[in-house]
Chains A and B, each alone.
Chain A
């Protein structure tokens, strides 16, 4: 059973080894430059840089990210349902399963409609 994981181990080794090799190579091959505080500062047309270099995101991105997480969960529940669907639909529990997922998606659809009506997915405002 443990042998099944050898490909995973190989992939981890290759990915980590590649990153490590690139880092080491750039350190070995590259010449180290002379650095000073002035040389490392951002170049702004000869002016002294003001403020932070990190740009702030708009809150709009954030609302979309939140809604993504919530609907991501819905997909996580859809997956075992879809995997089981073919084998379950013939058994007597088949209709229970269909109705349970219909209720789940139906309730979540109300939330989706709410977000849509409130303009949460409108980008321009």
Chain B
């Protein structure tokens, strides 16, 4: 039988892989993908809580509504974020975070 802990551990594992990716990779687009992965990992734990916290045989639907909203916000975030990346690429001809050092000095 699959327990709640296994779902939570899987969620933590996916989240830490995403976190590692954000720090290791230097391409902005891949960093953005890793952010999406972290959001999805959080969604997994929310849905697991919704299912395992079922009261009287009814799952906690509020948690699933929260997942719904997170997916929506993620989509809006991706649309605007990718627009920013395209604008950045037009200005600098690069999508590497190492090249975005205008504000450093």
A and B touch in the complex (CB under 8 A): yes
Instruction: Tell me the A52-72 residues at the B interface (CB within 8 Å).
Output: 59, 62, 66, 69-70, 72
Q: How many inter-chain contacts with C-beta < 8 Å in the A-B complex? A: 19
**Complex-state Cα separation, A70 to B83, whole angstroms:** 13
Residues of B in contact with A, size category? 10 to 19
Question: Once the chains are docked, how many angstroms separate the CA of A77 from the CA of B82?
Answer: 23
CB < 8 Å: which of B71, B72, B83 contacts A66? B83
- At the interface, yes or no: A38 with Cβ under 8 Å from chain B? no
Question: Is residue A48 contacting chain B, with contact meaning CB distance below 8 A?
Answer: no
Confirm or deny: B55 has a beta carbon within 8 angstroms of a beta carbon on chain A. Answer: no
Q: Chain B contacts of A77 at CB under 8 A? A: 72
B82-A73 in contact (CB<8A): no
The residues of A that contact B86 with a CB separation of less than 8 Å are 59, 62
**A interface residues (Cβ-Cβ under 8 A, vs B):** 59, 62, 66, 69-70, 72-73, 76-77
Measured CA separation A59–B86 after assembly (Å):
9
19 A-B contacts, Cβ less than 8 Å apart? A59-B86, A62-B86, A66-B79, A66-B82, A66-B83, A69-B75, A69-B78, A69-B79, A70-B75, A70-B76, A70-B79, A72-B75, A73-B72, A73-B75, A73-B76, A76-B68, A76-B71, A76-B72, A77-B72
Q: What DSSP secondary structure best describes chain B's contact surface?
A: helix
CA distance A66 to B72 in the complex (A): 14
Minimal beta-carbon separation of A111 from chain B (angstroms): 11
The CA of A53 and the CA of B82, in the complex, are separated in Å by 24
In the complex, residue of chain B having the shortest beta-carbon distance to the beta carbon of A66: B79
Which B78-98 residues sit within 8 Å CB-CB of chain A? 78-79, 82-83, 86
Q: Mark B21-32, 1 if CB is under 8 A from A, else 0.
A: 000000000000
- Contact bitstring B54-81, A, C-beta under 8 A = 1, else 0: 0000000000000010011001101100
